[in-house]
Structure 1
C-alpha cells in the first residue's frame, strides 16, 4: 500500500493527464452516438444535461463529506463569471462542431487550440514556450489543415464551430490557472461555480433554439439512447474534473497537449466506427503529419523531465 501511495505521489501529474486523456476519448464517442447515431440533434440540450448531472454530483459529494468547497458567494460569482461564460461557449461550440463533422477531422482541427494556448500564455501569463515545442505544435496544426483539405465530407459551418471552440477552449484552460490563484478555490469549488453560473444561460439558450425539437423527439424510451446520454453526462463531470486538475497540477499547455495526444487513438477509432469518413490520400497524409508531430512533442516533454531530474539535488 505504501508503495502504491509513493507511486501516485511521484507520478500525480502523469496520472492526471492519463485520466484526462482516457475520459476525453470516451466522452467524444458517447456524445457522437447521442447526437448522430440516435439522431438527437440538440447539442445545447445535451450540454444542459451534462451541467445538471455535474452539479448534482458535486452537491451530493459535498453533503456526504467526500469533497469540500465554499457555499454560494456573491463575490466569488463576480470573479468567476468570465470563466463560466467561457465554459458555456466551450461546451456548446464543441458539441455543435462534433455534430457536424466526423470524429477524425474534429480531433485533428481541434489541435489548433494548443497553438492558441501558447499565444495566450505568452500574452496573459508571460510564459515563453521553448522553440522546439512551438515548432511541433505548428506542424500539428498544419497537418490538421491538410487533413481538412482531404476530407470530402468537409462541412464549412462545422469547421467554423471548431475554430471558435479552439479559441474559447484555450481561453478556458488559461483562465482556470488564473482564477485558481485569484480565488483560492480548489478543483471542486471551481467546478461548482462554473456549473451553477452556466446553467441559467444554457436553459435560456436551449429553450430558444431547441425546445420545439426536443418536445417532438421520439427516442427517449430507447435504452441505448438513455445509456449513452447518461454515460455522456457522467463523463462530462469526470472530464471537467480532470481538466481543472490537469491545469492546476500540470499547466494549461500540458492539458491542451494531452488532449491532442489522446486524439491519436480517437482519430484511429473514429475512422471506422460511425461510417461517416471517406478515406483519401490527403486526409491520411494530414492526419499522419499531425500525429507524428504529437509524438515529437511527447518526446520533447520527456527529455525536459529527464533534464529536470538530473539537476535535482540527490
Structure 2
C-alpha cells in the first residue's frame, strides 16, 4: 500500500514542521487558500510521478527504468531552455550522453539475462513466453513515457511556481507535503486494496508498532529531503537537481559492492566509473557556463568622483 505509506509520511512531515515552527526555530507562511490553489497542481504531479513510476516498474527492470529516468534529464534541460531561457552547451550535452551510457552499461547484463530466461527450449511455449514479454515491455514503456513527461513537468513547474509565488524553501516543503496528503489518500482508496486481509498483510499485528514507528521516522527524515529539494531547485536549476538525483545513485551502488557483498563485475564497475565521469563533465560545463555568463555582463561604471587620483 504505497500511497497509504506516503500519505502517513507526509502527515508526519507536516506535523514535524508545525511543531518546529511553534518552537520558533523556523518560519513559513500560514496556510492560504490562494497559495494552496496555485501549488496544488505540483502536488498532484508529484503523486502522478509516483504512480506512473510504480506502474512502469511492474513491467520493466530497475536498470531499464533508470535509463529512461536519466533520459528525462535531457527533456528537463530543454524544457528550461523554453521556459526559463536556459542554455545547453555542447559539454553539458556530452555529460548527459555519458550518464545515459552509464545506465545502458548497468542495464545490459540485466536485460540480457532476462531475455535468456524467457526463452524455454520448447518452440510453442517459447513463442508464448516471448509474446508475453513483448506485451509487458510495451505496456511498461508506455507507463515509462508518461512518467518521464510527468517528471519533467513536475520539476519545471515547481521551479516556475517558486519564482512566481516567491515561496521560501520551507513554504515549498510545507505546501508540497500538506497538499499531497488528500491526493495520496484518494489514490490509495482508488488503486489499493483496503480489505482486512490486505491491511493485515501490510501491517502484521506482531510487528505493527515497529512498522508504524519506522514509517513515522522516515516521515520525519523526509523533512530534510523535501527542504533540500526545494532549495536545490530554487538556487540552481531543474536540470542540476535532476542530474544530482541521477548521480546520487552511484555512491549507493558502490557502497553495495564494498559493504554489502553485491557482485563486482566489469559492467557494474564500468557503469559507476562512467557515471562519475559524467558528473565531473557536468560540473566543468556548468562552471565554464557561469564564467562565460559573468564575462558577458557589462562592467559597472565607477563614478568619476569616487575614483582615486
Shared fold per TM-score greater than 0.5: yes
Instruction: Kindly indicate whether residue 156 of structure 2 is the aligned counterpart of residue 197 of structure 1.
Output: no
Contact 1:84 1:197 (C-alpha < 8 Å) held by counterparts: yes
Instruction: Kindly indicate whether residue 73 of structure 2 is the aligned counterpart of residue 114 of structure 1.
Output: yes
Instruction: Kindly indicate whether residue 237 of structure 2 is the aligned counterpart of residue 251 of structure 1.
Output: yes
Using the alignment, how far apart are the partners of 1:153 and 1:287 within structure 2?
21
Aligned partner of 2:167 in structure 1 is 185
TM-score by length of 2: 0.71
Instruction: Kindly indicate whether residue 217 of structure 2 is the aligned counterpart of residue 217 of structure 1.
Output: no
Using the alignment, how far apart are the partners of 2:103 and 2:265 within structure 1?
14
In structure 2, the CA distance between the partners of 1:258 and 1:224, relative to structure 1 (3 Å rule), is same
Question: Where does 1:128-277 land on structure 2 (aligned, <5 Å)?
Answer: 128-151=87-110, 152=113, 156=137, 164-210=146-192, 211-212=194-195, 213-219=198-204, 221-222=206-207, 225-226=211-212, 228-270=214-256
In structure 2, the CA distance between the partners of 1:92 and 1:66, relative to structure 1 (3 Å rule), is farther
Aligned partner of 1:126 in structure 2 is 85
Using the alignment, how far apart are the partners of 1:118 and 1:220 within structure 2?
47
Contact 2:12 2:219 (C-alpha < 8 Å) held by counterparts: yes
Residue 64 of structure 1: CA displacement? Answer: 2.2
Instruction: Kindly indicate whether residue 42 of structure 2 is the aligned counterpart of residue 83 of structure 1.
Output: yes
Larger Rg, first or second structure (1 or 2): 2
In structure 2, the CA distance between the partners of 1:188 and 1:240, relative to structure 1 (3 Å rule), is same
Contact 1:108 1:290 (C-alpha < 8 Å) held by counterparts: no
Give the superposed CA RMSD: 3.7
Using the alignment, how far apart are the partners of 1:48 and 1:228 within structure 2?
14
Using the alignment, how far apart are the partners of 2:217 and 2:54 within structure 1?
15
Name the stretch that deviates more: 68-77 or 118-127: 68-77
Aligned partner of 1:52 in structure 2 is 11
In structure 2, the CA distance between the partners of 1:215 and 1:269, relative to structure 1 (3 Å rule), is same
Q: Alpha-carbon deviations, 1:207-266, whole Å to 9, x = none?
A: 233323234335464376456433432222211110101111222122122222222102
Instruction: Kindly indicate whether residue 288 of structure 2 is the aligned counterpart of residue 299 of structure 1.
Output: no
Stretches of structure 2 lacking an aligned partner (at least 5 in a row)? 116-135, 300-309
Q: How many residue pairs were aligned?
A: 272
Residue 195 of structure 1: CA displacement? Answer: 2.0
Aligned partner of 1:34 in structure 2 is none
In structure 2, the CA distance between the partners of 1:78 and 1:166, relative to structure 1 (3 Å rule), is same
Residue 84 of structure 1: CA displacement? Answer: 1.4
Name the stretch that deviates more: 181-190 or 302-311: 302-311
Residue 121 of structure 1: CA displacement? Answer: 0.7
Aligned partner of 2:118 in structure 1 is none
In structure 2, the CA distance between the partners of 1:158 and 1:242, relative to structure 1 (3 Å rule), is farther
Stretches of structure 1 lacking an aligned partner (at least 5 in a row)? 1-41
